Amino acid sequence: MGTAIIFGLVAILGIFALIGALKNRNVLGLIFSFGTVAVFGFFTIMTFIKSGFPE
């Protein structure tokens, strides 16, 4: 479950990177940060749904 928490933090940092890439109009950064948020965010959300929030 610790891995899901760390991946959740990575997804949050990816959101900040996505915003930064949008401000700078960096297309490659936008693609990679969107992919990071999509993959790590999906993994985090589905782990919390399947296993529940850690106690």
Residue 18 domain flag: yes
User: What domain count does the chain have?
Assistant: 1
- Which residue has better confidence, 3 or 1? 3
How confident is the model over 7-51, as pLDDT tens digits? 999 999 999 999 999 999 999 999 999 999 999 999 999 998 888
Residue 54 domain flag: no
Q: What is the DSSP string of the chain?
A: -HHHHHHHHHHHHHHHHHHHHHHHT-HHHHHHHHHHHHHHHHHHHHHHHHH----
Residue 42 domain flag: yes
What is the model's pLDDT at position 6? Answer: 94
What is the model's pLDDT at position 55? Answer: 65
Taking the model in full, what pTM does it have?
A: 0.84
Domain that holds residue 16: 2-49
